[in-house]
């Protein structure tokens, strides 16, 4: 299937995006921003109730497809739904991810496999399976982490998985450049999301964790999901037409100064 021929009429339609893991936190903020910018947005998530809530709030501009990015079969169902719409894809945001704390001594194979299955396998095959549907001048944005470029005790598996995502994005930028498709990574710093708060075991520990993370940022606060979404929207826009293979840090200076 050729994106340049089969989806040639897509430019007369609202642009179409896919956001994986889009029911909360950064993913949800990205979906909101894209709808505001006129995209029709396909959103994936593992919990149907949260997908239903998103559709209720954002209406017909959202198509929600339940699925786990670590499952190739679930990804096939996602892309079947996108293909049925008939407008191809202008933007893929590989956002789904997560991790847990575990030192090298405490790490078990199941936790290792789960993190890499979601963060790396899920990202790789989300992007691979999008290729037949990508329109000319489409954009791919992967979501990285400042953890990939610094060391945090007990966070090695997550850090390594995000380093892998960053390196894949570099390679894909070269491979897809002949099609005019740009690939970039948005790298958030500590951001106030349920995922970050959920790394702690109770509300008191959660508040302490958030305060600790904010204290490491030169701007002395956590990022807002909408700020990460703004960066994604920029990379999807014509204003970023000469940007590919880059890593855009949205981290309050945490890893830069």
Other CB atoms within 10 Å distance of the CB of residue 34 = 28
- Is pLDDT of 1 > 60? no
- Is pLDDT of 11 > 80? no
* Residue 204 resides in a domain: no
Q: What percent of the chain has pLDDT over 70?
A: 95
* Residue 165 resides in a domain: yes
Average pLDDT of the residues in 53-73: 97
Q: Rounded to whole angstroms, how far apart are CA atoms 12 and 196? A: 39
* Residue 15 resides in a domain: yes
Q: What percent of the chain has pLDDT over 90?
A: 82
Q: Are 185 and 166 in contact (CB under 8 A)?
A: yes
Give the CATH number for residue 227.
Answer: 3.40.50.720
Q: Which residue has the higher pLDDT, 30 or 211?
A: 30
Q: Rounded to whole angstroms, how far apart are CA atoms 33 and 19? A: 11
* Residue 207 CA to its chain's centroid (Å): 25
Q: How many domains does the chain have?
A: 1
Give the per-residue pLDDT at 12: 54
What is the end-to-end Cα distance of the chain in Å, rounded? Answer: 46
pLDDT interval class at 228 (50, 70, 90): very high
* Residue 211 resides in a domain: no
Q: Are 90 and 40 in contact (CB under 8 A)?
A: no
Give the per-residue pLDDT at 2: 43
pLDDT interval class at 69 (50, 70, 90): very high
Which tens digits make up the pLDDT trace of 102-129?
A: 999 999 999 999 999 999 999 999 999 9
Which tens digits make up the pLDDT trace of 135-147?
A: 999 999 999 999 9
* Residue 50 resides in a domain: yes
Which tens digits make up the pLDDT trace of 175-219?
A: 999 999 999 999 999 999 887 777 776 778 888 888 888 899 999
Nearest to 143 by CA among 174, 189, 192: 189
Give the per-residue pLDDT at 131: 98
* Residue 218 resides in a domain: no
> What is the residue range of 76's domain?
3-188+223-249
Q: What is the pTM of this model?
A: 0.92
* Residue 194 resides in a domain: no
> Which residues are marked as active site?
158
Q: Rounded to whole angstroms, how far apart are CA atoms 126 and 124? A: 6
> Over the chain, what is the mean pLDDT?
92
Give the per-residue pLDDT at 6: 46
* Residue 199 resides in a domain: no
């Amino acid at each position: 299937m050729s994106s340049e021929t089969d989806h040639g009429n897509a430019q007369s339609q609202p642009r179409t995006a896919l956001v994986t893991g889009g029911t909360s936190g950064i993913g949800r903020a990205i979906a909101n921003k894209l709808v505001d910018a006129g995209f029709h947005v396909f959103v994936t998530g593992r919990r149907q109730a949260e997908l239903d809530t998103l559709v209720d709030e954002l209406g017909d501009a959202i198509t929600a497809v339940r699925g786990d990015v670590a499952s190739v079969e679930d990804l096939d169902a996602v892309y079947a739904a996108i293909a049925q719409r008939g407008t191809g894809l202008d933007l893929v945001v590989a956002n789904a991810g997560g991790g847990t704390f575990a030192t090298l001594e405490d790490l078990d194979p199941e936790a290792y496999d789960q993190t890499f299955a979601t963060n790396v396998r899920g990202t790789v095959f989300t992007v691979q399976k999008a290729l037949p549907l990508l329109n000319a001048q489409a954009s791919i944005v992967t979501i990285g982490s400042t953890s990939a470029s610094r060391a945090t005790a007990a966070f090695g598996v997550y850090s390594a998985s995000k380093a892998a995502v960053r390196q894949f994005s570099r390679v894909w930028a070269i491979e897809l450049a002949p099609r005019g498709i740009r690939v970039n990574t948005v790298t958030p710093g500590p951001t106030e999301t349920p995922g970050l708060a959920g790394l702690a075991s109770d509300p008191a520990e959660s508040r302490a964790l958030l305060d600790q993370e904010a204290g490491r940022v030169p701007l002395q606060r956590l990022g807002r999901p909408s700020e990460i979404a703004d960066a994604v929207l920029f990379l999807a826009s014509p204003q970023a037409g000469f940007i590919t293979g880059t890593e855009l840090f949205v981290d309050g200076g945490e890893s830069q100064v």
